[in-house]
Amino acid sequence: MRTLNVDLGARSYPIYIGENLLSTNKFLRNHINDKKIVIVTNETVAPLYLEKLANILNPIKPLKIILPDGEQYKTLETIESIFTKLLENRCARDTTVIALGGGVVGDITGFAAACYQRGIDFIQVPTTLLSQVDSSVGGKTGVNHPLGKNMIGAFYQPKCVLADISTLHTLPERELSAGLAEVIKYGLIADKKFFDWLKNNISALLKLDSEAISYAVETSCQCKADIVASDEQEKSGRRALLNLGHTFGHAIETGMGYGVWLHGEAVGCGMVLAAKFSQRLGWITEDTVEEIIQLVSAAKLPTQLPKELSANKILELMSIDKKVKDGKLYLVLLNNIGDATLTCDYDHNLLNSMLKDLHHSA
């Protein structure tokens, strides 16, 4: 078991990474001071891990809230259903909420915790690769709106993150690949050596080799923890580098309908688009783009735009992105593998023509 720390002063918290962490309460008990505990999960994860988590919380018997599974339920309506359960059960400010599941459950639960009675404690217990390496760390919480992804939310840090990599053995292959998109992202934005390691170990990761998975989760979490500690609320621009591929990806998710493409699938394709645009700007070579495409493809992720979305539609959806400031769309692009930058200083006509070219070739 390894412990990393997200250094945010009074809001600092540990990330516990290891196998079979849901078999002991020695980690969670240090972060639960309250007598009332609520576990929020979904109908897919509940049969697998809900009772296991509840058992290690004895003698406290937690309230259990089971949500429907899917990105399409990441809505204000779902948040309201959680509030109703909390109110019906007279949950006060001395309640701790535990998010048990993937990124959708974590985002919803964190946002509910941030809002309920102006803030109650919450803990992240991520059970997917994507949530373990990305969405459970850093305090971004929220829900989607029909016009844009993650448009309603708050920065709200958990008390701790418990990443039990044993839970990945029940993960469908498609979800595993989706998580690998976020792992690859860390290599692209900040760590060329990690990117090279991923090229050599992608098969081991897809086979859930314990040593490889542990290293990938730890390295990814350390990268994110370092970036979040330096720019918690995206004020300096450094944290925005974590959004490589996300502006393109969110447009794909919204345009296709939430849940049609998994978040990681859209991010994988989005990173390829960011690389191709970086190459059109003359920042990276065609060989570098091909190197990126090969790794994304090896992770069994899509590398081409969906035919259903026109270039104009993607641009329209991208214009609603949170990184639009003063009418300018900021993109995370690549100077090289391991070196990303946030910029609005590019030819928008060139972006338009690239998307049109890619749509025609899809």
Active site residue 323: no
Among 218, 234, 253, 265, the one annotated catalytic: 234
Active site residue 118: yes
Among 36, 149, 185, 246, the one annotated catalytic: 246
Question: What single-letter DSSP state applies at residue 95?
Answer: E
Closest to 93 in 3D by CA, of 166, 38, 142: 38
Query: Is residue 85 classed exposed, middle or buried when 0-12, 13-18 and 19+ CB atoms within 10 A define those classes?
Result: middle
Closest to 137 in 3D by CA, of 11, 269, 300: 11
Distance, CA of 163 to CA of 160 (rounded, Å): 10
Among 140, 149, 323, 359, the one annotated catalytic: 140
Measure the CA angle with vertex 125, ends 255 and 25; round to 5°: 175
Bridge-based pairing state of the strands 36-42 and 63-67:
parallel
Q: Which residue, chain included where needed, has tokens 């980690």?
A: 27
Among 58, 88, 90, 118, the one annotated catalytic: 118
Alpha helical stretches, state H, 207-340: 210-230, 246-256, 263-280, 286-298, 311-318
Active site residue 218: no
Active site residue 316: no
User: Residue 142: left if φ>0, alpha if ψ -120 to 50, beta else—which one?
Assistant: left
Bridge-based pairing state of the strands 331-336 and 339-343:
antiparallel
Distances (CA, A) of 314 to 98, 258, 282, 292, 320: 36, 15, 23, 22, 10
Q: Is the peptide bond before 59 cis (omega within 30 degrees of 0)?
A: yes
Active site residue 235: no
Joined together, the tokens standing for residue 25 give 């309460």
Question: What single-letter DSSP state applies at residue 325?
Answer: E
Among 224, 276, 323, 359, the one annotated catalytic: 224
Cβ contact 261:306 at 8 Å: yes
Active site residue 169: no
Among 185, 243, 253, 265, the one annotated catalytic: 243
Active site residue 2: no
Active site residue 31: no
Among 71, 175, 182, 265, the one annotated catalytic: 182
Cβ contact 106:99 at 8 Å: yes
Active site residue 246: yes
Cβ contact 297:183 at 8 Å: no
144 three-class SS: strand
- The DSSP bridge partners found for residue 329 are 324
Active site residue 239: yes
Catalytic (active-site) positions: 118, 140, 182, 224, 234, 239, 243, 246, 250, 263
